[in-house]
Structure 1
């Protein structure tokens, strides 16, 4: 008796599936009768097909500055009515909707909406999904895709810049009198005309807003509708502070700290060579730092060469003596051991002699070079 009950339930269950399959097959056969996928779904040929478009932004994948290109993962919702796709659910076993292919045999009419500023090699990279057809004649088409589009990028204020990238959608062949596009902003805010329900934050860019506009573009003797969905994004500063600004400040400070090393230290030149080898891959900013590093290397070599010159081999030239032992010390308020600087004579453009006798000056200079003044 128990086995008989199970067998009866299986028969009823299977019969229900077969009945539903029969009803759906009959409905498909009736809907496809006299249906042409090339014909626009309007009863009056003078009317335009009204299509509502909404973009669901899921993620900003990449912004390529050099190629002026942005890559997004989106889903584009398109809704319109097809008067030949209506039926009474009571006559077909309570069926409320159908899923029909968007290409091949049995496909329905669909608007030829394309991304005009596409940067794809194949131009259209959306995935061909099925139509969702409701008994009221409403048709929903939601193809997902990784979309690459061109973007006018301005990096004047890099890395504190903001960009506005536009997705330009429109019909490729139908004029506004035949196909009219509208932005479907139902249940969306005034600032965001894209659906951000499933949006994933980008690690480099912050999304500020997604406004949209409907424009009419004249072409030949007719006009075409375009929908512009704009992405207002701002670069996140923390990323560039950690990877660009802070390293650049450290490198620049190291350029100055190299001059604070004593001339006797053999690592004075080694520091410059190390910095040169480490900054070649840090970008355009560091190219200027490398130029400064090169200049500092030459200055360091000059300082070290002057420091280690012996007074009995090299004789100081008069202009060097005048510049570094008289004019600069007086201007910098520096004192030389055993010497008192004086102001220029009134009515005279030159300074007084900073020494009394040549022998006394040479002895004082030798004492400074040999470090004898430190032991006094």
Structure 2
């Protein structure tokens, strides 16, 4: 590292004499080094539901004091007392608190670039390295795509326990910065997610002792809500429209069962394609079924019932007296009325043989006509039975489809993130109103940056 200012160069050489960057700054035995932490979010890059990984671009601000780097006390103050400004020192040349992202998923625990650190005359170090982190985020798919997720970024020291360094949140204006800082000028809004809450907390894990690394950690929360418009336009609306076509098969004639089954099965295949698209998006878990998956299973069940109904109606419509007999339901048709069989027999006994033969022929014709009429009438009765079942099933399926569609998606509508980050804690963990911060979602407020 080269200093353009000669006094700064001499000071840097002096500070590095006997300096061991592998030794924690400690004036006397038992001293604890306090490290303040603050995170600034510049971009919520993505949330991969399949891999359950949140990718973010952040700046990690850390401050601590290293007495070995001070020059405002004798004897250095005599030589460098006129240097009152901060000095930039390569971060790899000094001791660092090795704070890492504990819940990373790609094996990259450290920051992206070891930028210079600012050192004040009193030896306090200010370090603001950038980083792109991929952190683990457990995905809850119950209400996908009307869901919200609670992702965390857990930071702790890799090698120092609570008896050696103390992790605390940065204080500004005598108030801890208990939130993820977002700079409106640098932040890029994500097209799929909107940040609802962004609190920060220092957690003490009582299960461990101070000698264990897991005892203390700083956790930054990102509670994000999905913008469902993409899935509504590209999946939900087409699925609802295609599924509603299944109800139109009831407007086809009852005897057109083949065409009705073909239309219903094609709709069932289209619904299967939507189900495959959803399966490729959400994590492979058997614990819960996403809301859109429940809806697809519902409409597939409705379509399957419609196919079964079409088959049953077609079977009834094509029945005939030769194959099935409808007992006590076929109306009897009389083609000959007036007179009795006894009267007819008396008159025939007195008639000539030619007349009797003619009458017998008429009887035979009348009997054949009566049988044919009864046959056609019974065919019509079977057709009417099929049509009645068709209409009843249409009403039942239409009610089931519309009520099920409205009910399932109302469940997603009412799935909203909580009004406060932590149940039972009324604080919102946001900058005070006096900061006059503009909400990036379009609302002028000091309470919320992103909704």
TM-score by length of 2: 0.60
1:118 deviates by 1.6
Conserved? CA contact 1:192–1:209, under 8 Å: no
Distance in structure 1 (CA, Å) of the matches to 2:383 and 2:160: 93
Conserved? CA contact 2:146–2:228, under 8 Å: yes
TM-score by length of 1: 0.71
Distance in structure 2 (CA, Å) of the matches to 1:214 and 1:287: 44
1:181 deviates by 0.7
CA displacement 1:300-329 (0-9 Å, x = unmatched): 24434544x3747x54333xx66xx69xxx
Considering fraction of residues, name the structure with more helix: 2
After the TM superposition, which residues 145-224 of structure 1 pair with which residues of structure 2 at under 5 Å, given as runs? 145-186=131-172, 193-197=179-183, 198-218=186-206, 219-220=208-209, 222=211, 224=215
Alignment match, 2:28: 44
Conserved? CA contact 2:169–2:176, under 8 Å: no
Alignment match, 1:226: 217
Change (3 A) 1:211 1:188: farther
Distance in structure 1 (CA, Å) of the matches to 2:135 and 2:272: 32
Distance in structure 2 (CA, Å) of the matches to 1:58 and 1:370: 70
Change (3 A) 1:301 1:125: farther
Change (3 A) 1:140 1:167: same
Change (3 A) 1:230 1:32: same
Q: Which residue of the other structure, out of 88, 91, 103, is the alignment partner of 1:99?
A: 88
Distance in structure 1 (CA, Å) of the matches to 2:91 and 2:266: 62
Distance in structure 2 (CA, Å) of the matches to 1:296 and 1:188: 68
Q: Which has the higher contact order (CA 8 A, sep 6+)?
A: 2
Conserved? CA contact 1:56–1:194, under 8 Å: yes
Structure 1 unmatched runs, 5+: 1-17, 327-335, 339-356, 372-376
The number of residue pairs the alignment matches comes to 317
Q: Which moved more, 1:38-47 or 1:280-289?
A: 280-289
Q: Which residue of the other structure, out of 296, 300, 306, is the alignment partner of 2:306?
A: 296
Conserved? CA contact 2:246–2:303, under 8 Å: yes
Q: Which residue of the other structure, out of 47, 50, 58, is the alignment partner of 2:42?
A: 58
Considering fraction of residues, name the structure with more strand: 1
Alignment match, 1:120: 106
Q: Which residue of the other structure, out of 260, 267, 270, is the alignment partner of 1:278?
A: 270
Distance in structure 1 (CA, Å) of the matches to 2:111 and 2:13: 32
RMSD between aligned residues: 3.6
